[in-house]
């Protein structure tokens, strides 16, 4: 006999359960429902507590509902196929068993709707518990599908449930980064990861198109947090961890193929990046793009437009775009005729102060190294002159050395300890640039520097007609380490290049600590005439003295 429809619970119901209901043993209720169909209506009590305003009551109900419906799915006691309306089921020609399954399937759907709403609950524990329960439902549905799916396309995976979960996680108003981190353990499943990526792509397209591509900081932050936690296996043989068990007859399942994973990963990121991003999001993407995005794409060259646009923005964003461009140029034969011109123009005073300074000089060192010139020479204009073993034109190397030397006049000591060895290495690699050090002059005549600092084209800046007098000036620098480094230009440079990796990360704090340690071993004179008054003639001098 089918259960009577004496009570109904919808996802919108907010009736607070009675004290008797709140204190009932939920696990006993579950046992009774599973033991006998005559207790089927007790499921309404579980759903009612699930909508309680008390956190502990909700947590208990989530666990009880999770156990109940997972067992019902396992025992195939939920109606399979297209679900008829409850009123039609009661009036229709269904057996008592089918009526029971239809009744429980409707209660299961109500439970899922309530849990999806709880993903926006004020209490994190409730949100986390609801997420875990929904993912267990997804696993149970995967093993015991409720719908007849396209087996070739989706196998028996509960795609619609995952799509609904992703939609709630990608909130438009609430930062869900903590809740998204809880999803990590489920993303280890290869099929879950595949359908999460597919759901993100679909969700982003719908939401951003509806908003006409406007910047949505909270939503885009949630999307980035979820996407940046996803990585694709390197080999197809690593695709072995599935939530839904595979069968030999379903070898064409897309979620079981590495190429399909790469494709959906690629479409997910391209779909996200085609819309306008907040500036801080732009930087976050560029920071991880070279090692967390490009290696997992089936066609990394599709990122060319995004990276070249970022490289042309200027400032820190251009610095961060260098890593991605390096990968595309070095590994995927990207042709970029204006690359070195834009790199040259990135050498502004701000480059010595940004937190990406070490990354920039590391990459600039690679781009200007002779060991890579067989590749770099294909992305710059025809060389005017070739320096030794390098294929870089001498004017280009001289322009970089001269611009760095000019910027060094106002750079902090920590930057100078990078810049000076960097310039020396350029001269070592390209002997034709030694003319910048040994340029003859007529006696003590003061010559006007022909170098054009404001010229954006390194071929037209006249660096080769100039000299590195700035380094001579730095020999009088107030910091002894800088002055010592600048003095090296007075003698012939050794053939061995300096290892700048040791100083790339140096900070002002570390430099001061080093100075203090040295000062402890010797007396440092501070004043050659002893002071007898403290700020004589000022208010402080009237109240303080040095006696």
DSSP secondary structure string, 494-527? PSSPP-GGGTTT--HHHHHHHHHHHHTTS-----
Q: What is the DSSP letter of 173?
A: S
Sign of CA dihedral 510, 511, 512, 514: positive
| Mean per-residue pLDDT of the chain | 82
Question: What is the model's pTM?
Answer: 0.77
User: In Å, how far from its chain's centre is CA 466?
Assistant: 43
CA distances from 258 to 189, 197, 233, 430 (A): 13, 13, 8, 45
Extract the tokens encoding 492: 């012939």
- In angstroms, the CA 519 to CA 524 distance is 7
pLDDT of residue 70: 93
Burial 118-136 (b: 16+ CB within 10 A, else e): bbbbeeeebbbbbbbbbbb
Q: Helix 315-332 crosses helix 279-288 at what angle (to 10 degrees)?
A: 30
pLDDT of residue 405: 93
pLDDT of residue 14: 43
Residues in the chain: 547
Residue 218: Cβ-neighbour burial (10 angstroms; 0-12, 13-18, 19+): middle
Burial 236-261 (b: 16+ CB within 10 A, else e): eeebeebbbeeeeeeeebbbbebebb
CA distances from 417 to 29, 151, 413, 504, 538 (A): 73, 63, 6, 9, 40
Quick one: residue 335, left, alpha or beta (phi over 0 = left, psi -120 to 50 = alpha)? beta
pLDDT of residue 332: 83
Residue 529: Cβ-neighbour burial (10 angstroms; 0-12, 13-18, 19+): exposed
Burial 495-520 (b: 16+ CB within 10 A, else e): eeebebeebbebeeeebeeeeeeeee
Q: Which helix (H) or strand (E) holds 179?
A: helix 177-182
Domains in the chain: boundaries: 1-148, 149-277, 337-439+448-547
Whether 97 contacts 74, CB under 8 Å: no
pLDDT of residue 355: 80
Helices within 232-388 (DSSP H only): 258-273, 279-288, 304-311, 315-332, 339-345, 357-367, 373-376
Whether 383 contacts 392, CB under 8 Å: yes
| pLDDT tens for each residue of the chain, 547 residues long | 455 554 544 443 444 444 444 445 788 888 899 998 888 898 998 999 999 888 988 999 999 999 999 999 998 889 888 888 877 777 767 788 888 888 999 999 999 999 999 999 999 999 999 999 999 999 998 888 887 655 555 567 888 999 999 999 999 999 999 999 999 989 999 999 999 999 999 999 999 988 888 889 999 999 999 999 998 988 888 888 888 876 644 567 888 889 999 999 999 999 999 999 888 888 899 989 988 999 899 889 899 889 888 888 877 888 888 888 888 888 888 777 778 888 898 888 888 888 888 888 888 888 887 544 444 444 444 333 333 334 688 899 999 999 999 999 999 988 999 999 999 999 998 888 888 887 666 555 556 889 999 999 999 999 998 889 999 999 999 888 899 999 998 888 888 888 888 788 787 778 777 777 765 656 656 665 666 655 566 666 666 665 5
Neighbours of 201 (CB within 10 A): 21
pLDDT of residue 540: 61
Q: Give SS3 for 545.
A: strand
Whether 60 contacts 47, CB under 8 Å: no
pLDDT of residue 514: 76
């Amino acid at each position: 006999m089918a259960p009577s429809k004496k009570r109904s619970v919808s996802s919108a119901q907010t009736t607070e359960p009675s004290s008797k209901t709140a204190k009932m043993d939920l696990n006993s209720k579950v046992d009774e429902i599973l033991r006998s169909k005559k207790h089927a209506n007790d499921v309404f009590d579980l759903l009612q507590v699930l909508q309680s305003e008390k956190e502990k009551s909700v947590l208990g109900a989530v666990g009880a509902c999770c156990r109940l419906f997972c067992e019902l799915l396992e025992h195939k006691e939920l109606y399979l196929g297209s679900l008829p309306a409850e009123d039609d089921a009661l009036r229709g020609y269904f057996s008592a068993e089918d009526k029971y399954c239809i009744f429980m399937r409707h209660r299961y759907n109500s439970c899922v709707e309530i849990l999806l709403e709880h993903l926006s609950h004020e209490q994190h524990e409730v949100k986390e518990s609801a997420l875990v329960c929904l993912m267990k439902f997804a696993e149970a549905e995967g093993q015991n599908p409720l719908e007849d799916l396209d087996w070739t396309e989706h196998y028996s995976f509960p795609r619609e449930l995952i799509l609904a979960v992703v939609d709630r996680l990608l909130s438009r108003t609430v930062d869900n980064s903590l809740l998204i981190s809880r999803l990590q353990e489920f993303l280890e499943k290869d099929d879950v990861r595949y359908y999460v990526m597919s759901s993100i792509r679909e969700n982003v397209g719908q939401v951003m198109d509806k908003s006409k591509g406007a910047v949505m900081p909270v939503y885009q932050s949630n999307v980035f947090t979820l996407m940046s936690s996803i990585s694709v296996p390197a080999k197809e043989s690593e695709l072995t961890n599935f939530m839904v068990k595979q069968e030999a007859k379903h070898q064409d399942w897309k979620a079981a193929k590495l190429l399909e994973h790469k494709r959906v990963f690629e479409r997910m990121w391209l779909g996200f990046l085609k819309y306008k991003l907040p500036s801080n999001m732009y930087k976050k993407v560029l920071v991880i793009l070279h090692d967390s995005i490009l290696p997992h794409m089936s066609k990394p060259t599709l990122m060319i437009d995004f990276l070249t646009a970022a490289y042309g923005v200027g400032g820190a964003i251009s610095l961060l775009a260098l890593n991605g461009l390096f990968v595309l140029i070095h590994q995927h034969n990207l042709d970029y005729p204006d690359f070195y011109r834009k790199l040259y123009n990135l050498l502004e005073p701000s480059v010595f102060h940004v937190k990406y300074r070490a990354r920039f000089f590391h990459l600039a060192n690679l781009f200007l190294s002779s060991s890579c010139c067989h590749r770099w020479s294909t992305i710059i204009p025809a060389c005017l002159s070739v320096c030794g073993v390098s294929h870089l034109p001498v004017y280009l190397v001289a322009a970089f050395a001269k611009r760095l030397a000019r910027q060094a006049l106002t750079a902090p000591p920590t930057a100078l300890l990078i810049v000076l060895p960097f310039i020396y290495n350029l001269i070592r690699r390209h002997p034709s640039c030694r003319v910048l050090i040994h340029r003859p002059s007529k006696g003590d005549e003061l010559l006007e520097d022909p170098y054009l600092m404001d010229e954006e084209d390194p071929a037209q800046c006249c660096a080769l007609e100039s000299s590195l007098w700035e380094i001579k000036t730095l020999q009088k620098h107030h910091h002894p380490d800088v002055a010592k480094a600048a003095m090296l230009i007075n003698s012939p440079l050794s053939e061995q290049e300096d290892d700048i990796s040791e100083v790339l990360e140096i900070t002002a704090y570390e430099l001061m600590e080093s100075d203090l340690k040295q000062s402890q071993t010797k007396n440092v004179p501070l004043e050659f005439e002893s002071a007898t008054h403290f700020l004589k003639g000022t208010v402080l001098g009237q109240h303080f003295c040095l006696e």
